[in-house]
């Protein structure tokens, strides 16, 4: 079964699932894990692994408009890991993200695995299901950098020109040390009618917002990571781990930007006609799928 099929079955079995995070009253809960050789390799510093393990969960809270409060961290450590150093780095990351670690678990594992459950607060959570035909479709920042950074991992940057090296280092940093849109997520409450974070790729994640509508995306309006080179279309449309927010609102771009105090980018509209299209042509979901045949 594909990841999409598994998620559909999970929603049948557990009807309260379906958003970036689960909601119970004012509390919002999410869980994400990073696994060695799936989400990172041993070459990545423990500092960045720790930061990303929290960032991917905070991105889910951001998509719900939630304020991060607490986290539980479970670590399955392989032989090569300095567990004490990793715990210190988790503590440092938690301080920088202003979230309190309140518990977790430790175990040995064949490969390093970090599972984080993050808890936030949202009195008016933003759901995926609120988009309506006519709403504008927005993305919070330029896309493609993370996928480009992944493609550049292991490259010999010393052979590049200064400008090329600056671009490569910036893209790799976007992949290894993503910034969750926590502040923006909270500011979108009352503005966004629906929201999701781009973790698997724009072409796949936009479908989560198409519960009661379709989507029409305009290629020329998609903001592109500065200096992006290589397979630009693939990076922008299908590149995962962007952790930008993809949201809908009836408000104009300039009005939203003024209210949240930063740029956002309108890339299309929600439509009565179901399905997702790019410049009028069907856009297939080709983002990352954990369970796709390799």
pLDDT, tens digit, for every residue of 246-264? 999 999 999 999 999 999 9
pLDDT in tens, 140-186: 999 999 999 999 999 999 999 999 999 999 999 999 999 999 999 99
Which residue segments constitute the domains of the chain, with CATH numbers given?
Answer: 20-121 (3.30.1330.10), 128-282 (3.90.650.10)
What is residue 292's predicted lDDT score, i.e. its pLDDT? 63
Average pLDDT over residues 49-70: 98
Helix axes 83-97, 46-63, angle to 10 degrees: 40
Given a cut of 70, is residue 293 above it in pLDDT? Answer: no
Cβ atoms of 188 and 65 within 8 Å: the answer is: yes
Tell me which of 5-14, 70-79, 221-230 is least confident. 5-14
């Amino acid at each position: 079964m594909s990841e999409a099929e598994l998620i559909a079955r999970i929603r049948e079995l557990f009807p309260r699932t379906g958003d970036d995070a689960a909601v119970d009253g004012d509390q919002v809960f999410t869980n994400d894990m990073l696994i060695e050789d799936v989400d990172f390799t041993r070459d990545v510093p423990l500092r960045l692994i720790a930061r990303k393990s929290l960032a991917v969960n905070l991105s889910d809270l951001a998509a719900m408009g939630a304020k991060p409060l607490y986290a539980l961290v479970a670590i399955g450590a392989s032989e090569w890991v300095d567990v004490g150093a990793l715990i210190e780095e988790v503590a440092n990351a938690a301080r920088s993200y202003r979230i309190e670690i309140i518990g977790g678990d430790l175990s040995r594992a064949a490969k390093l695995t970090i599972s984080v459950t993050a808890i936030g607060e949202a009195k008016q959570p933003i759901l995926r299901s609120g988009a309506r035909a006519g709403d504008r479709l927005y993305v919070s920042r330029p896309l493609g950098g993370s996928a480009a950074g992944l493609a550049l991992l292991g490259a010999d940057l010393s052979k590049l020109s200064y400008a090329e090296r600056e671009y490569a280092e910036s893209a790799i940093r976007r992949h290894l040390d993503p910034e969750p849109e926590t502040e923006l997520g909270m500011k979108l409450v009352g503005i966004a009618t629906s929201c999701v974070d781009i973790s698997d790729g724009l072409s796949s994640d936009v479908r989560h917002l198409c519960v009661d509508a379709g989507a029409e995306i305009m290629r020329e309006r998609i903001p592109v990571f500065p200096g992006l080179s290589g397979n630009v279309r693939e990076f922008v449309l299908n590149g995962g781990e962007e952790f930008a927010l993809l949201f809908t609102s009836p408000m104009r771009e300039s009005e939203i930007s003024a209210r949240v105090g930063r740029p956002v980018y309108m890339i299309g509209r929600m439509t009565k006609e179901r399905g997702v299209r790019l410049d009028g042509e069907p856009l297939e979901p080709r983002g990352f799928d954990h369970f796709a045949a390799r």
